[in-house]
């Protein structure tokens, strides 16, 4: 267990347990166990009977209390009831593979259906919900398998059936219980044990697969641990060794290198795993104390701009989805601002939103968050002029690692929000079914190539796919903030000896400066680029961007002779088109060995001169 102990050595902010009494939620993880578990001891504290996963009787009683008076909880409940009523007439999920071994869409559908139906049944005892859930569970138990060749599918289906079996235990006839236990054992846990034994890629990976696969198997093991103690204890001990590899990806400050969409997916299962362990065993086995978990809700706050869209680096989507994990994190780490973000995200609430909902937190809690923040684990920096203002100026900037999971060749890229619009955008991922998307052709696709991002390109070349770009400077003060990334390793393949990019929010947080300092071993002619949905007019060193009634001014401050150009982004099929997107570019008058590129971006008209300084002398504006 030395590996586990080392990975969990750094603790998150202190957490305390709360007494269990009628109406008091029990989902706050307890103080970690002082001694590592063993196969012989891990089930010693197993809660007898059912339910034991995530939602103990006191948790359900707490939700009922909220429904008596809290209008947000009532809205969540009404939305779930409406969806569940429509589901009563729908056919149960069918064994339909998206590809030869991909059942993931079906598994996710079953997860959502079972959580919704089973929670409603526990809240109002309406037999219609239990009966429809039982129909769903019998259908998936009869599937020939749960697609173990693409183990995410198996893990999510194991999660769904575990919740249904546990939450509906008393409502299910004995034959159904036996059927579901057998399905969990043979189609979920035994295939999972085989994955651990063959050391499948995800087992020691820091990627989202680890969180999801371990989270699903933990739920499955705990659901039938009293009937299958040997198998369950083996699974739990394997997860105890495996999951910390993924938890280490939150280190040291909670950011997620795979991008915010995969943060959502990974953290959904991280919180499910910790909540299930805590409710079933009375301990999270110490895993909730992993460094960065207490801060990861802050990453989720900063990675969303005032336009309520993500800084969607890597294979992330721009659209912000529902994140009930924010409610769990708010409670577990006593961070009420996370709950505010949870309420914003729950536009289409899920069952876990209602289960973990808390009214804690206010706009004042959000406003007390720092305006600027650097996340050193993923090499990201975020700056904004205000919280709680949809028109605020927002700048997000990325260094990072081109060799990471789901990474694009995008070191030095940025996005920009202002006046309620996203001006500099990231195109996000393309279709995963494209040939070689995760293989030999990955860097041939525009959205993944360097030219598809808001950064520099040299001769149309991609950045080095193994390059790492650390943030080498960061500053924040009342009037603004800045960050500098060393991009040298990304462009050495193009003949650049040193490349650094700095971004700055200045002018009392009303203006943005993007400044590059480049030294070449020979003459270089880099192209500066920014993708936008705006209508763009260029005139030499100036450009005006328009979105609706809002305008953004762009101006070249350096080098002399450089001019703006604009062209539509025309991506050939079968790649996804980028309709309505243009690329604002800066071209040099002639190649040169040493140069500084400086572009100022400001909402509305130009606001006056800017005095340029070397990146080494940058300071945040007071």
Q: Does the pLDDT at position 164 exceed 50?
A: yes
Question: Is 608's pLDDT higher than 90?
Answer: no
pLDDT in tens, 180-196: 999 999 999 999 999 99
Residue 563's DSSP bridge partners are 587
**Which pLDDT does position 34 carry in this prediction?**
54
Range with top average pLDDT, 172-181, 584-593, 597-606 = 172-181
What is the pLDDT at residue 11?
A: 37
Annotated domain spans of the chain: 2-289+321-367, 373-617
Q: What is the secondary structure of 510-564 as a DSSP string?
A: TEEEEEEEEEEEEEE-EEEEEEESSEEEEETTEEEEEETTEEEEEEEEESTT-EE
Q: Which CATH fold would you assign to the domain 2-289+321-367? A: Glycosyltransferase (1.50.10)
Is the pLDDT at 408 greater than 60, yes or no? Answer: yes
pLDDT for residue 135 is more than 80? yes
Q: What digits encode the pLDDT tens for the residues 431-486? A: 999 999 999 999 999 999 999 999 999 999 999 999 999 999 999 999 999 999 99
Q: Write the pLDDT tens digit of every residue in 477-501.
A: 999 999 999 999 999 999 999 999 9
> Which of 292, 222, 305, 221 lies closest to 263, judged by CA?
292
Amino acid 68: pLDDT = 96
* Average pLDDT along the chain: 93
Mean pLDDT to the nearest integer, 270-283:
97
Stated pTM of the model? 0.93
Q: What's the pLDDT at 4?
A: 46
354 with 80: CB under 8 angstroms? Answer: yes
- By three-state DSSP, how is residue 14 classified? coil
**Residue 536 and residue 434: Cα distance in Å, rounded?**
31
How much is the average pLDDT of 102-111?
Answer: 95
* Residue 99 DSSP code: B
pLDDT tens figures, 329-346: 999 999 999 999 999 999
The predicted pLDDT at position 467 comes to 97
β-bridge pairing 496-506 and 563-568: unpaired
DSSP string, 334-383: T-HHHHHHHHHHTTS--HHHHHH------HHHHHTS-S-EEETTTTEEEE
- Give the residue among 574, 532, 534 at the shortest CA–CA distance from 446: 574
**Cβ atoms 585, 527 nearer than 8 A:** yes
Taking each helix axis as running N to C, give the angle between helix 208-223 and helix 190-197, from 0 to 180 degrees, rounded to the nearest 10: 140
Span 352-370, average pLDDT:
96
Q: Return the CATH class of domain 373-617.
A: mainly beta
d(CA 139, CA 224): 19
pLDDT of residue 21: 33
Name the band, by pLDDT with cuts 50, 70 and 90, for residue 597: very high
User: What was the pLDDT predicted at 620?
Assistant: 86
CA dist., res. 211 & res. 325, Å (int): 13
Rounded to an integer, the average pLDDT of 20-33 is 42
3-state helix, strand and coil shares in percent for the chain, rounded to the nearest 5: 40, 20, 40
pLDDT at residue 251 greater than cutoff 50: yes
pLDDT (0 to 100) of residue 360: 95
- pLDDT confidence band for 6 (50 / 70 / 90): very low
**Mean pLDDT to the nearest integer, 583-589:** 94
Residue 32 in this model has a pLDDT that exceeds 60: no
**What does the alpha-carbon distance between residue 301 and residue 231 come to, in Å, rounded to a whole number?**
39
In this prediction, residue 605 carries a pLDDT of: 82
User: Which residues have C-beta within 8 Å of that of residue 550, sequence separation ≥ 6?
Assistant: 418, 419, 420, 421, 603
Give pLDDT tens digits for 235-247.
999 999 999 999 9
Q: What is the pLDDT of residue 445?
A: 98
Percentage above 90 pLDDT, the chain: 90
Q: pLDDT digit string (tens) for 280-303?
A: 999 999 999 999 999 999 999 999
């Amino acid at each position: 267990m030395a590996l586990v102990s080392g990975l969990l050595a750094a603790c998150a902010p202190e957490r305390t347990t709360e007494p269990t009494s009628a109406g008091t939620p029990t989902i706050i993880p307890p103080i970690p166990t002082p001694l590592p578990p063993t196969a012989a001891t891990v089930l010693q504290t197993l809660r007898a009977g059912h339910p034991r996963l995530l939602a103990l009787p006191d948790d359900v009683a707490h939700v009922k209390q909220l429904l008596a008076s809290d209008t947000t909880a009532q809205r969540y409940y009404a939305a779930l009831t409406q969806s569940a009523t429509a589901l009563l007439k729908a056919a149960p999920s069918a064994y339909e593979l998206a590809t030869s071994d991909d059942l993931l869409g079906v598994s996710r559908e079953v997860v959502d259906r079972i959580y919704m139906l089973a929670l409603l049944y526990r809240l109002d005892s309406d037999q219609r919900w239990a009966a429809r859930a039982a129909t769903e569970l019998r259908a998936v138990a009869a599937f020939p398998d749960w697609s173990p060749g693409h183990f995410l599918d198996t893990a999510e289906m194991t999660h769904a059936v575990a919740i249904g079996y546990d939450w509906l235990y008393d409502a299910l006839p004995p034959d159904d219980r036996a059927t579901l236990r057998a399905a969990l054992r043979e189609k979920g846990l035994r295939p999972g044990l085989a994955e651990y034994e063959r050391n499948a890629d995800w087992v020691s990976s820091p990627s989202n697969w680890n969180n999801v696969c371990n989270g699903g198997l933990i739920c499955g093991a705990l659901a039938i641990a009293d009937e299958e103690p040997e198998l369950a204890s083996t699974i739990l001990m394997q997860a105890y060794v495996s999951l910390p590899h993924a938890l280490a990806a939150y280190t040291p400050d909670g950011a997620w290198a795979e991008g915010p969409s995969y943060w959502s997916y990974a953290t959904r299962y991280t919180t499910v795993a910790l909540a299930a362990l805590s409710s079933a065993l009375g301990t999270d086995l110490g895993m909730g104390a992993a460094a960065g978990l207490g801060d990861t809700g802050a990453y989720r706050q900063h990675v969303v701009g005032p336009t309520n869209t993500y800084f969607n680096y890597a294979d992330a989507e721009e659209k912000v989805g529902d994140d009930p994990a924010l409610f769990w994190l708010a409670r577990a780490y006593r961070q009420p601002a996370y709950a505010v973000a949870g309420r914003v995200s729950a536009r289409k609430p899920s069952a876990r939103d209602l289960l973990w909902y808390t009214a804690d937190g206010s706009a004042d809690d959000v406003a007390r968050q720092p305006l600027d923040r650097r996340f050193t684990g993923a090499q990201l920096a975020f700056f904004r002029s205000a919280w709680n203002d949809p028109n605020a100026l927002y700048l997000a900037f990325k260094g990072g690692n081109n060799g990471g999971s789901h990474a694009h060749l995008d070191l030095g890229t940025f996005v920009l929000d202002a006046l309620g619009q996203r001006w500099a955008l990231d195109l996000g991922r393309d279709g995963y079914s494209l040939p070689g998307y995760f293989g030999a052709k990955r860097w041939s696709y525009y959205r993944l190539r360097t030219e598809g991002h808001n950064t520099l390109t040299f001769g149309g070349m991609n950045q080095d796919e193994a390059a790492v770009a650390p943030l080498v400077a960061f500053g924040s003060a009342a009037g603004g903030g800045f960050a500098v990334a060393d991009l040298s390793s990304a462009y050495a393949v193009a003949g650049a000896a040193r490349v650094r990019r700095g971004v700055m929010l200045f002018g009392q947080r009303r203006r943005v400066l993007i400044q590059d300092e480049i030294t070449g071993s020979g003459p270089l002619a880099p192209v500066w680029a920014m993708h936008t949905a705006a209508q763009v007019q260029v005139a030499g060193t100036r450009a005006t961007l328009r979105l609706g009634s809002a305008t953004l001014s762009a101006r070249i401050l350096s080098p002399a002779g450089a001019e703006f150009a604009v062209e539509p982004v025309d991506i050939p099929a079968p790649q996804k088109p980028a309709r309505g997107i243009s690329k604002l570019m800066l071209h040099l008058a002639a190649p040169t060995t040493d140069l500084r590129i400086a572009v100022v971006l400001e909402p509305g008209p130009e606001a006056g001169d800017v005095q340029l300084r070397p990146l080494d002398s940058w300071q945040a504006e007071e």
